[in-house]
C-alpha cells in the first residue's frame, strides 16, 4: 500500500477527529447521550476538535457507517478516530482488535479508545497506522 502524505485537518488550531459509536445491545437513549458526552470530553482532554460522530443505530447499518467513517477521514484529512471502547468494534475481542487495526491503517492515523483511558486515568491507548497496540 502506498500512503499519500496529507496535511492534518485543523479547526481552531486543534487537530480534528471523528468518533465512531455503535449502539450496543441494552443501550438506551440515555446511555447513548452518556457515550457522546464521554467521547466529547475525551476529545477536549486530548486537544482534539471533534469534527463529527459516525453513529450506527442498528446492526444493519454497520457496513455503511464504517465506510462513511473511512471516506470522511480520507476526504477531510482527519487521521484520528475516537471509539468509546473495543466493544464498539465487535463483541469478540479478536475481531475488535482486527477492526481497530484495519481502521488505523485505512485512515492512515490513530484510533483512540476512550473508556480504557477514562477508567484507568492513564495515557490514552491508541493504535497508530504503524502498528502499535490498540
69-107 tens-digit pLDDT: 999 999 999 999 999 999 999 999 999 999 999 999 999
Domain boundaries, the chain: 10-128
Does the predicted model carry a pTM greater than 0.85? Answer: no
How far the first Cα of the chain sits from its last, in Å, is 21
Q: Among candidates 17, 3, 134, 128, which has minimal Cα distance to 72? A: 17
Length of the chain: 134
Q: Give the start-end residues of each E strand in 24-77.
A: 48-56
Q: What is the pLDDT of residues 14-31, one digit of tens each?
A: 689 999 999 888 889 999
CA–CA dist 19, 52 (Å, integer): 6
Q: Which fold has domain 10-128?
A: Rossmann fold (3.40.50)
Phi, psi at 84, each rounded to 5°: -55, -45
Amino acid at each position: 500500500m502506498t500512503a499519500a502524505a496529507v496535511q492534518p485537518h485543523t479547526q481552531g488550531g486543534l487537530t480534528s477527529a471523528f468518533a465512531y459509536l455503535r449502539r450496543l445491545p441494552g443501550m438506551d437513549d440515555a446511555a447513548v447521550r452518556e457515550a457522546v458526552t464521554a467521547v466529547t470530553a475525551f476529545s477536549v482532554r486530548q486537544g482534539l476538535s471533534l469534527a463529527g460522530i459516525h453513529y450506527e443505530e442498528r446492526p444493519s447499518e454497520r457496513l455503511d457507517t464504517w465506510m462513511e467513517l473511512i471516506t470522511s477521514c480520507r476526504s477531510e484529512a482527519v487521521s484520528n478516530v475516537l471509539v468509546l471502547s473495543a466493544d464498539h468494534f465487535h463483541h469478540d475481542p479478536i475481531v475488535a482488535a482486527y477492526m481497530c487495526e484495519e481502521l488505523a491503517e485505512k485512515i492512515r492515523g490513530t484510533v483512540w479508545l476512550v473508556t480504557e483511558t477514562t477508567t484507568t486515568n492513564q495515557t490514552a491507548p491508541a493504535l497508530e497506522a504503524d502498528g502499535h497496540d490498540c
